[in-house]
Amino acid sequence: MDIADIRAKTMDELKDELVTLKKEQFNLRFQRATQQMESTARVRLVRREVAKVKTVMREKRDS
C-alpha cells in the first residue's frame, strides 16, 4: 500500500487496517512456528505496513 493511500484514510479506517494487519502478522508468525510458511518476505512487508499505518495515525493525532 502506498503512503498516499494510507494518508487519505480516516482515523477509523486506519484503525481497521491496523487490526487487519496485526491479524495477518499473527497468522504469519504462527505459520513460521509450524514451518508452513510459503512467503517469508511477507513478514517483512506486513511489519513495514504496520509501521506506516501507526506513523500516519500518530501524525493525524498530533496535528
CATH number at residue 47: 1.10.287.310
Please tell me the predicted confidence (pLDDT) of residue 37. 87
Q: Which domain holds residue 54?
A: 3-62
Number of domains in the chain: 1
* Contact between residue 6 and residue 55 where contact means Cβ atoms under 8 Å apart: no
Please tell me the predicted confidence (pLDDT) of residue 9. 96
Please tell me the predicted confidence (pLDDT) of residue 1. 80
Q: Residue for cell digits 496485526?
A: 22
For 1-60, the pLDDT digits (tens) are 899 999 999 999 999 999 999 999 999 999 999 999 888 999 999 999 999 999 999 999
List C-alpha distances in Å: 31 to 18, 34, 39: 20, 5, 10
Please tell me the predicted confidence (pLDDT) of residue 38. 87
